[in-house]
Structure 1
Amino acid sequence: MCFTGIISKVLYKTIISAGAIVDNKLERDTKHALNVNEKVLKNILKRNEESEIGKKYDFKNIKTIDDYKNKVPITKYDYYEEYIKRMAKGEKKVLMCDEVEYFGHTSGTTGKQKLIPSTKKARMIASKYMAFLLNRYAYDNLKYEWKYGRGLLIADIVMTSYTEGNIPVCSATSGGMKAMGKMIKYLYTSPYEVMTIKDKESSLYLHILFALKERGLTFISGVFISSVLDMFRIMEENHLDLVKDIRTGKVNRNLVIDDDVREKLNSYLEPDAMRADELEKIFKDGFRACARKIWPSLVYIGTVTGANFSIYDDKVNYYTNYLPIYSPCYAATEATIGMNKNVGIIKYIVIPDTVFYEFLPVDMENKQGGKIITKNIDELEIGEKYEVLVTNYSGLYRYRLGDVVRVVGYYNNSPEIVFEYRKNQVLNMASEKTNEMQLVAALRNTVKIFELEIIDYITEPDNNVSPGRYIIYVEFKDPLDAFTLKRVEKQLEIELKRTNIAYDRARYNFKLSPLKLVQLKKGTFNKVKESMYHKGVSKNQIKVPRVINKENIRQIIKEGRM
């Protein structure tokens, strides 16, 4: 075993051992979930009582959860915009007393992108779960197949920009990755320089190139399963060039990278004809189930999936032959909320000690005297859906995430939840409230019937006809003729009626017209992703919005119609 391999094994064994300590703490915390969560609230208020907002709401004299709910209003991002602008200019002690380490840039799937302040305290709280428990739970589930080798991590450490006050603006994962520094090369196959490349296609190509060189690759990890699928698609489309690069030990000249970065990356490579011949043979046999042939030691895929992401699962399974997929956590730029102990099952234990939680019943009818009443961590009912509110260490108080979750059980005394949908990613023209999960289920059922492959989809309500209707824009891997497209459209209508009874009722009562399916040109969603990236979204955290919410995306979709 080479020196790097020895260090990698030692590091992973250390991380997994540390994960057991963190897991034991989570076990204790979940037994006393409300008490732990209340302590988090009190700690946040104590730390920030001298901030501007702490003085405004008299944090110093808040003694109980009820006091807090009575004194501090429920908020959305708009409430914080002016405060955050001042903080971005360098003003101190505005929303919290701690220094802003960086501003996290959200994906903007539900509208405008947001700048979310993050502190060292918040990052450290999240990192102990993300770094240690992720690996621990994967090991616990797969210990009989486990290999202590490096993995492919599809991530970046690109700082999007800096504020007027010289504070970095980046994705939350970029901030976390940068803090790992020199450990990266011992944990992952991609050199540090690859993670600094801004061009999405070039970055993915290089992630794959260095992973292909590592025959003993243990896992593949990406923030979202869509980025893992993008990686496999880039591999399939560029396999000839990738084999050539491995054979010659030189990075492809067509990649959009700086000369000094190219020179550094070339220094990590050397000609490897044997590996090139091996890969060439595998690729000639086709790409179905290719992952296990390329990397015989591959144990699992670690990435967030389920709910709105499940539309990508089938195609990833095509490449991996149903390699176990581990969806490790439920997190947002604003908070790390839940951890999943199970490979192959998607449900998250709410972590009591990261932020203070409130849960708002989705019907919004639970009011007393016109005041919205939220539930605490121990008051949730199994089977019910709630919007998540968080109070965090980075200056957000009673903040509505816009995420709707469903409670599926309890782990000790902390809820187990599944993500359902984003509140603003809902089509609602006649009180039918069609959400992402219902759309995805209808699309998956439809494409299975016709044995089609879709690249991605997006929707919009159309009131240019009466009654209104949904327009579903889909990019298919292979274009459909007009006759087949019409058949698919009719089946999609049937499937959507099945997945959303309220939609079926609206159609039956002539409150909605039949949906319209519009085919998009090849590459349309690549343009959408590029547009989002140029607007500041991390290239590995891009989530295609399910409802058109920006004019630039509307224009791309309009130009992409066939």
Structure 2
Amino acid sequence: MDGKKLEYRGEDALKEIEKLTAKAAEVQDGILKEIIKQNVETEYLNKYMKGSKDVSEFKRCVPVITYKYIYPYIQRIANGEGSSLITGQPIIEILCSSGTSAGEPKLMPSIAEDLDRRTFLYNLIMPIMNQYICGLDEGRAMYLYFVKAEMSTPCGLPFRTVLTSYYKSKHFKCRARDPFNDFTSPDQAVLCNDSSQSMYCQLLAGLVHRHQVMRLGAVFASALLRAISFLERKWVQLCNDIRTGQLDLTIVDPACRSSMTTILTSPNPHLADEIEGICSCPSWKGILCRLWPRAKYIEAVVTGSMAQYIPALEFYSAGKLPLVCTMYASSECYFGINLKPLCDPAEVAFTLLPNMGYFEFLPLGENGTLSLDVDEEEEVPNDRLVDLVNVKVGLYYELVVTTFSGLCRYRIGDVLQVTGFHNQAPQFRFICRRNVVLSVDNDKTNEVDLHRSVTIAKRLLEPYNALLVEYTSYADTSSVPGHYVLFWEIQMVDSSTSIDAKVLEDCCITVEEELDYVYRQCRSREKTVGPLEIRVVAPGTFEALMDFFISQGGSINQYKTPRCIKSHTALKLLNSHVLASLCSPRDPKWIPLNG
């Protein structure tokens, strides 16, 4: 990517968005031609193209693949073979995915240009936001970002998460020249490998600058809620630091301690008293607005599985701060941006930018219905794929991407629905990860169905001033018939109220009656699936689960609670925190299709 394109700011950035989307088909053709030209002599592409640079030959001969087909090539590069196995450019690092959606981290090749493309997308965010909210350059951003300790492949390539790569890059370090990138967190705190010390210092910096903070955020909504939970436990210590002007002795990282000396310059008992008065209130409803009174919005991913955190974020902001989801990205490729950032979270749609990679789409269903009949590992005929500009509004697709770094017609695994177009470029709503399912017999429950069912069932908790903080699931086949188990962590807003067993039993049956026809048939008629069970776990259980996955190589930035637990160790952890267990009191209603 042309380095000057990283410098788009303000009106120039908005004009570039219009230029790219107005000629989306032309840009996509150019991107594919450039990828083929750059990578045609690689071992992988030459196997199918035989040296040809023809686009039609690429579409006819190069197969649609999943991770297991490209993994052997990536593994060979990690072990020391040349980048030319899959790309014409040197691979500078191997990125690891979060690993919590599919069970294990995936290894993704990355070239220098990839950092340029990511930075290009980041640089579009504030020009878009400035169209909707004025004065954001008059204060600072309290964004909580974290790195994961990196490793090396056998041949010495850095092995790290995509966000760690970005935070350690020159692009992140040079952001300071942009007034909209004035963060409260010192870089040294962001780059600290100890997430607890990093969190402490970043929160402390945010509290010291509380009257300057204009926006709050984290990468995922779950990370922001984790920060609020951390603050609940540590606010007394944080206030003491501010009151005395001395950093707590538990912070031992030298870089953190050094960076915080420029923030804790002197004792500030008045500020400490302000914060103490707010944090010591019995209810933390609206705490974000009270601690950071100038904040105008919260930025975090709140789509897909993150949508279930929306009620909690609205509770802590008293519904006064818009929840803004700015961009759509993955370890494999950065895809697009939200051109209407202040829309309702349920209406978030991302405009895919045609210069980020070459995008194709596998249709999933017809006439606006979603069908996941195409198995993740099933061979997909090339002629089934649809180009970016030819998708249809209302239909569902699985995203397939070709990148400069060596992924060719790679199935990302994300299910998207087309909501409209911006110029020639389609806009998509993220639906789910297609490979997260529960299954006991003939039933197959995907993430979107599970989330929808839980969303409806948790409304039964509202009259009791209770919030469903987090959930996950697994298919228990240790007995016959097997059954679905949901782990629920419930927070009581009012300690004087409680939830009796009958309410939770009603939640069980409500979930079941919102699941699909096949599941209800298995339960009610065939009896091949047993009653659904909800296990209520102790407060803090899902934080412990997060800690477990991070200890296994995940990243606090990229962590998403897995909607289906496959790890025996994680399951043991959850079961050790169960407070109560309830099952559906009856079979769900089931009506034969011909009835």
Q: TM-score, normalised by structure 2?
A: 0.85
CA contact (8 A) 1:521 1:561 kept: yes
| TM-fit CA distance, 1:305 | 0.8
Where do 1:162-561 residues align within 5 Å?
A: 162-179=152-169, 180-181=172-173, 183=175, 187-214=182-209, 215-255=211-251, 257-259=252-254, 261-270=256-265, 271-285=267-281, 286-322=283-319, 323-342=321-340, 343-345=342-344, 346-362=348-364, 363=371, 371=381, 373-451=384-462, 452-477=466-491, 484-498=500-514, 500=516, 502-510=518-526, 511-561=528-578
- Which residue of the partner structure matches residue 24 of structure 2? 33
Moved more, 90-99 or 459-468: 459-468
Q: Distance in 1 between matches of 2:249 and 2:446?
A: 44
Q: Distance in 2 between matches of 1:340 and 1:21?
A: 17
* Structure 1 residues 64-213: aligned runs within 5 Å: 64=55, 66-92=56-82, 93-109=84-100, 110-130=102-122, 132-143=123-134, 146-179=136-169, 180-181=172-173, 183=175, 187-213=182-208
CA offset at residue 501 of structure 1?
A: 5.1
Measured at CA, do residues 501 and 208 of structure 1 come closer, stay the same or move farther in structure 2, by a change above 3 Å?
A: farther
- Deviation track 1:101-138 (CA, whole Å, cap 9, x = no partner) reads 222111112121111111111221121112x2111111
Contact 1:155 1:174 survives alignment (8 Å): no
Q: How far has the Cα of 1:514 moved from its partner?
A: 2.3
The alpha carbon displacement at 1:370 in A equals 7.8
Distance 1:316 1:488 in 2: 23
Identity %: 25
Q: 1:23 to 1:90 in 2, by over 3 A?
A: farther
Paired with 1:376 and 1:528, the residues of 2 have a C-alpha distance of 40
1:454-507 CA-partner distances (Å, limit 9, x unpaired): 332111112344443211012223599997245213224214423645544544
- CA offset at residue 205 of structure 1? 2.2
Amino acid across the alignment from 1:128 = F
Paired with 1:47 and 1:155, the residues of 2 have a C-alpha distance of 34
Whether the 8 Å contact between 2:189 and 2:255 is mirrored in structure 1 is no
Shift of 1:424: 1.3
Question: Is the partner of 1:477 in helix, strand or coil?
Answer: strand
Q: What's the CA shift for 1:382?
A: 1.6
Whether contact under 8 Å (1:194, 1:206) holds in the other structure is: yes
Q: Which moved more, 1:386-395 or 1:246-255?
A: 246-255
Deviation readout 1:430-451 (Å, 9 max, x if unpaired): 5554332333333333333223
Instruction: Tell me, yes or no, if the aligned pair for 2:418 and 2:427 is still in contact at 8 Å.
Output: yes
CA distance in 2, matches of 1:77, 1:338: 22
Cα deviations across residues 345-393 of structure 1 (Å, max 9, x unaligned)?
Answer: 41111111111111112247799x9835111112212221111110011
Q: Is the 8 A contact 1:290 1:319 kept in 2?
A: yes
State the shift of 1:293 in Å: 2.1
Structure 1 pair 485/20, CA: closer, same or farther in 2 (3 Å)? farther
**What SS does structure 1 have at the residue aligned with 2:428?**
strand
Look up the SS of the partner of 1:73 in the other structure: coil
Separation of aligned partners in 1, 2:561 and 2:30: 37
Alignment partners' CA distance in 1, 2:480 and 2:425: 48
- Call closer, same or farther: CA 1:149–1:16 in 2, change over 3 Å: farther
- Alpha-carbon distance in 2 for matches of 1:480, 1:98: 63
Q: How far apart are residue 427 of structure 1 and its match? A: 1.9
* 8 A contact 2:186–2:259 mirrored in 1: no
Q: Which AA in structure 2 matches 1:315?
A: A
Query: SS in structure 1 opposite 2:99?
Result: coil
1:266-297 Cα deviation digits (max 9, x unpaired)? 35412222211211222233421122222222
Q: Where does the alignment leave 5 or more consecutive residues of structure 2 unmatched?
A: 1-5, 365-370, 580-595
Letter in 1 for 2:381: K
For the Cα contact (< 8 Å) 1:170–1:538, is it kept in 2?
Answer: no
After the TM superposition, which of the residue ranges 425-434 and 118-127 deviates more from structure 2?
Answer: 425-434
Contact 1:95 1:395 in 2 (8 A): yes
The 1:200–1:455 alpha-carbon spacing in structure 2 relative to 1, beyond 3 Å, is farther
Amino acid at match of 1:118: S
Residues 429 and 468, structure 1, Cα contact 8 Å, conserved in 2: yes
Contact 2:308 2:455 in 1 (8 A): yes
Task: State the Cα distance separating 1:249 from its structure 2 match.
Answer: 1.8
Distance 1:432 1:35, change over 3 A: farther
Q: Is 322-331 or 176-185 further displaced after alignment?
A: 176-185
Q: 1:370 to 1:294 in 2, by over 3 A?
A: closer
User: Conserved in 1, the CA contact under 8 Å of 2:198 and 2:256?
Assistant: no
The corresponding residue for 1:12 is: none
Once residues 450 and 266 of structure 1 are traced to their aligned partners in structure 2, the CA distance between those partners, rounded to angstroms, is 46
SS at match of 2:469: strand
CA distance in 1, matches of 2:330, 2:292: 31
Residue 481 and residue 287 in structure 1: after superposition, are their counterparts in 2 closer, same or farther (change >3 A)? Answer: closer
| Aligned amino acid, residue 190 of structure 2 | M
- Post-superposition offset of 1:22: 2.9
CA distance in 2, matches of 1:317, 1:85: 44
Counterpart amino acid of residue 208 in structure 1: L
**Counterpart amino acid of 1:188?**
F
Which stretch of structure 1 is more off in the superposition, 246-255 or 166-175?
A: 246-255
1:34-68: CA deviations, max 9, x gaps?
Answer: 2211211111111112322233233741312x421
Equivalent residue for 1:9?
none
Letter of the 1:493 partner, please give it: I
Aligned to 2:583: none
What secondary structure does 1:124 align onto? helix
CA distance in 2, matches of 1:69, 1:17: 33
What amino acid is the match of 2:86?
L
SS in 1 for 2:390: coil
CA distance in 1 between counterparts of 2:268 and 2:506 reads 52
Using the size of structure 1 for normalisation, the TM-score is 0.90
SS of corresponding position for 2:293: coil
Q: What code does the residue aligned with 2:548 have?
A: S
The residue identity in structure 2 corresponding to 1:545 is P
> Could you tell me how far apart the structure 1 residues matched to 2:238 and 2:124 are?
34
- Partners of 1:88 and 1:20 in 2: CA distance: 42
- Alpha-carbon distance in structure 2 between the residues aligned to 1:52 and 1:415: 33
CA distance in 2, matches of 1:434, 1:481: 33
Q: Deviations over 1:231-287 (max 9, x none)?
A: 1221122221111111112222234x4356434433541222221121122223342
Tell me the distance in 1 between the aligned counterparts of 2:224 and 2:7: 24
Tell me the CA shift for residue 329 of structure 1.
0.9
Query: CA, structure 1 residues 483+190, in 2 after alignment: closer, same or farther (shift >3 Å)?
Result: closer
Aligned length, in residue pairs: 544
Deviations 1:366-424 (A, max 9, x none): 99x98351111122122211111100111111111111111111222221111111111
Q: Distance in 1 between matches of 2:500 and 2:540?
A: 21
- Residues 438 and 496, structure 1, Cα contact 8 Å, conserved in 2: no
| Residue matched to 1:3 | none
Which segment is superposed worse, 427-436 or 386-395?
427-436
Measured at CA, do residues 234 and 486 of structure 1 come closer, stay the same or move farther in structure 2, by a change above 3 Å? same
